[in-house]
Structure 1
Amino acid sequence: MISKWQWLLSLVTRRLWFRATLISLLAVGAALLSLLISPYLPFGLSAKIGADAVDRILDIIATSMLAVTTFSLSTMVAAYSAATSNVTPRATKLLIEDSTTQNVLATFVGSFLYSLVAIITLSMGAYGERGRVVLFVVTVLVIFLIVATLLRWIDYLQRLGRVGETTDVVEDATVRAMRARRKKPYLGGQLLADPVIGIPEGCHPVFAQRIGYVQHIDTAAIAHAARSNGGRVYLSVLPGTFVDLKRPLAWCSSLDPAEDLTDIRDAFTIATERTFDQDPRFGMSVLAEIASRALSPAINDPGTAIDVIGRAVRVLSVWSEETEESKAQYPNIWVPQITPAELFNDIFVPIARDGQHMVEVQVRLQKAFAALARSADPTYVGEAMRHSADALARAEAAMAFGPDIARVRDASSLVGVTV
């Protein structure tokens, strides 16, 4: 598992200003590179390759890139607003962190700064005849980069903010979180079967100092603090858990409450929002939100809900994949597990509730339960049958047309049946 500071650094690298600043610095460096290379070039090249035209080219780049950047930013804001209204506000964070959008805007801003620095340096007469040659070559390369970025941006704008594209992004983030948790199901520690009665007597509680959601747990830091005194730590929360000032984050034994518990408390990152990184259940909840919004009377889009059901089967199939049992990296830490029951509840309960009167949604749900019941995870059979029965009961209570109820019953009869 990555440490707290590595995780915070990864959050910084996903910000737009980080990429824009990095590429802008590279662009300024490219503009000044001509001053270093020009002494090594022969005289007379400027007239042969038309380097005198670099002034006009730089003026065009400076003018056009400012307009293109402004247009791109307004398009981004419109796409984010559309995603917030038509999909879910929780998915907007992933769109903001999208690498394609950030690279495009960073390229435009960097090209604009490159042209400005080059124009200023040319006006100062710092380049000379040989420096213009290098500047001309670099400018041509920048033009190729701008053209390639524009073509990619035009193609990407056709999908930016669309329901299907945004749902793809949420599914990908959820699958990544699922695979990471399956690889380290207990965050590198050992299984704590019951976080209530599984805590030994004599342990000291570690309380949060702010109210919010647990975003990240640095199990390496917890293990280091516990190992120094031969202590043991029993986590009572997972990333995504909402905590208050009176809910213990963990229970510790054989540790100094004055010092070691502070180090353990600092290993928990608590903020006002959930994140996708260590919290696969959040991704499932966001997918359920997309389906619920599509099933609302204002939107009435059962097709999107059916699409989300198919995605839920794919995501849950990742969770049911067989993995090699890895030895506990931190044997002095005990961590609760995420159960299939929680994952099923996160995704299927809202869809079954909001789509209980739609036969096409209910039939698709039953087919999804049948597919999951045939997966490699034996616990899926019981969960699939339980949710199948609940969804059928909701449909029977909400539907008045007999043939529709019969279709749902026929579909539910296949759940748990092996072919």
Structure 2
Amino acid sequence: MMSRWRWILAQVFKKLWFRATLFAIAAIITALLSIVFKSMIPESLSVKVGAEAVDNILNILASSMLAVTTFSLSIMVSAYGSATTNVTPRATRLVVEDVTTQNVLATFIGSFLFSLVGIIALNMGAYGERGRVILFFVTLIVIALILLTLLRWIQHLTYLGRVGETTKKVEDAALETFIERAKNPCLGGFPWPESDTQPKGTTALFPRDIGYVEYIDVDRLQALLSDSSLHVYLVAQPGSFVHPSRPLIYVTDSVDAALSSAIQSAVRVSDVRSFNQDPRFCLCVLAEIACRALSPAVNDPGTAIDVIGRGVRVLSEYARHASTGSEVKYPAVHVAPLRDCDLMEDFFSPIARDGAAMREIQLRVLKSLSMLSCGWPERFGSAAAGMVEEMKERIEITPYIASDKQRLRAACHALFPEAGSPRDVQS
């Protein structure tokens, strides 16, 4: 599992200001290095490069990069608004963390500061005759970098903020989170299937904050308990909403205030849920995208069908990686494993409810449930059968025409016979 500091650094790296700051610092240092290494340039070469040539190029860069940066920021804001309106507000965070967009903006800001510092130093006479040569060649390199960035930016703008691209980002985040959880089913801790009841002889620790559990540093918990016989039972998992009135952790013995605070500090609480360590949130966001597409205002069943396919792919990858087994890395930390019925409920139930009036959505959901049940019956079979029973009730009360209702009934019987296991079907 990722340590606390690695997790904090990973969150910082995803911030828009971080890359822009790095590029800006690199640009300023690059502009000033010409002053340091100017003695290495021969006098004969310095005569061929005039101060006016470098100054004019830097002036053009400074004015154009400022305009391009402002224009790019407006495009980014529009893309964020489009993702919020057409996809789901929960997916906007992934659009903001887009690496290409951050690199483009950082390059433009860095180029602007490079040219600005170069102009100031040039007018102060800090470069001299030979320093201008280094500045000139470095400026040519910066221009080439800007051209490559512009071409990449133009290509990236064709799909920035669009529904398909944003949905793919959500799917990629879900795949990463689910595969990591499959390799560490209980965050690397010891399985605790009886998580609904407090273990005997344990003491409850209550959280100080109110919000969602964003990250649990299991490494830190194990380190805190390594010199004692204490064991901890994590009541709240990433994505759980915690409150001071509900237990956060159970400890096998009473602990002092210092150790209690240290144990609770390993659980980070935030105002919103995060894609890291929270597989159920990933599925909920995918389901939100499908449900928004199924709303009467949008009426886009094609997007919902696309999302259903992505959800099946995510759950299939999770089951495939989970079947390989895993080791317990933190035996003193007890964590409840994910329940497959909850995963199925998080994703399929909202889509089946909001798409109840659309025959094609119901058929796609039935086929997807059949695929998962046939592929991993011990994992998804029971949950899928229960969801099919709910779908049968919806089919009976939904005002379909007679032919649609008959077709849906036949699909339910063909894919999930009342007696026997679900059957496979070609999509």
* Cα-to-partner distance string for 1:89-136 (whole Å, 9 max, x where unaligned): 000011111111111100000000000000000000111121111101
How far did residue 318 of structure 1 move? 1.1
Say whether the 8 Å CA contact 2:2–2:217 is kept in structure 1. Answer: yes
How far did residue 389 of structure 1 move? 2.6
Paired residue for 1:202? 201
1:171-186, aligned counterparts within 5 Å?
171-186=171-186
Secondary structure of the residue that 2:330 maps to in structure 1?
Answer: coil
* 1-structure distance, mates of 2:395, 2:88: 26
Secondary structure of the residue that 1:333 maps to in structure 2?
Answer: strand
1:4-403, aligned counterparts within 5 Å?
4-48=4-48, 52-197=52-197, 199-323=198-322, 324-376=324-376, 378-403=378-403
Say whether the 8 Å CA contact 2:185–2:326 is kept in structure 1. Answer: no
Say whether the 8 Å CA contact 2:213–2:268 is kept in structure 1. Answer: yes
Secondary structure of the residue that 1:332 maps to in structure 2?
Answer: strand
* Cα-to-partner distance string for 1:64-99 (whole Å, 9 max, x where unaligned): 000000000011101111111111000001111111
* 1-structure distance, mates of 2:254, 2:32: 57
Secondary structure of the residue that 1:256 maps to in structure 2?
Answer: coil
Name the count of aligned residue pairs: 418
How far did residue 319 of structure 1 move? 1.3
* Cα-to-partner distance string for 1:215-257 (whole Å, 9 max, x where unaligned): 0011111112222221011111110000111111110013523
How far did residue 406 of structure 1 move? 2.0
* Cα-to-partner distance string for 1:256-288 (whole Å, 9 max, x where unaligned): 232222111111100110000110110100001
Secondary structure of the residue that 1:298 maps to in structure 2?
Answer: coil
* 2-structure distance, mates of 1:16, 1:344: 34
- Any stretches of 5+ residues in structure 2 without a counterpart? 417-421
Say whether the 8 Å CA contact 2:49–2:132 is kept in structure 1. Answer: no
Using structure 1 for the length normalisation, give the TM-score.
Answer: 0.97
* 2-structure distance, mates of 1:41, 1:27: 21
How far did residue 10 of structure 1 move? 1.3
Say whether the 8 Å CA contact 1:321–1:377 is kept in structure 2. Answer: no
Say whether the 8 Å CA contact 1:52–1:132 is kept in structure 2. Answer: no
* 2-structure distance, mates of 1:294, 1:59: 48
* Cα-to-partner distance string for 1:182-212 (whole Å, 9 max, x where unaligned): 1111111110011123x43221111110110
Paired residue for 2:419? none
Secondary structure of the residue that 1:239 maps to in structure 2?
Answer: coil
Secondary structure of the residue that 1:234 maps to in structure 2?
Answer: strand
Is 16-25 or 406-415 further displaced after alignment?
A: 406-415
Secondary structure of the residue that 2:415 maps to in structure 1?
Answer: coil
* 2-structure distance, mates of 1:108, 1:418: 53
* 2-structure distance, mates of 1:14, 1:132: 36
Paired residue for 1:408? 408
Say whether the 8 Å CA contact 1:229–1:255 is kept in structure 2. Answer: no
What is the aligned-residue identity percentage? 49
Specify the code of the residue in structure 2 equivalent to 1:345.
E
Whether 1:417 aligns to 2:401 is: no
Say whether the 8 Å CA contact 1:221–1:267 is kept in structure 2. Answer: yes
Say whether the 8 Å CA contact 2:171–2:310 is kept in structure 1. Answer: yes
* Cα-to-partner distance string for 1:133-157 (whole Å, 9 max, x where unaligned): 1101100000011011111111111
Using structure 2 for the length normalisation, give the TM-score.
Answer: 0.95
Specify the code of the residue in structure 2 equivalent to 1:232.
H
How far did residue 51 of structure 1 move? 6.9
Pair 1:32–1:377, CA change in 2 (3 A)? farther
* 2-structure distance, mates of 1:322, 1:75: 39
How far did residue 52 of structure 1 move? 4.7
Specify the code of the residue in structure 1 equivalent to 2:415.
L
* 1-structure distance, mates of 2:73, 2:188: 41
How far did residue 43 of structure 1 move? 1.1
- Root-mean-square deviation over aligned CA pairs: 1.5
Say whether the 8 Å CA contact 2:371–2:424 is kept in structure 1. Answer: no
* 2-structure distance, mates of 1:78, 1:345: 33
* 2-structure distance, mates of 1:327, 1:169: 30
How far did residue 46 of structure 1 move? 3.4
Is 227-236 or 392-401 further displaced after alignment?
A: 392-401
Say whether the 8 Å CA contact 2:182–2:321 is kept in structure 1. Answer: no
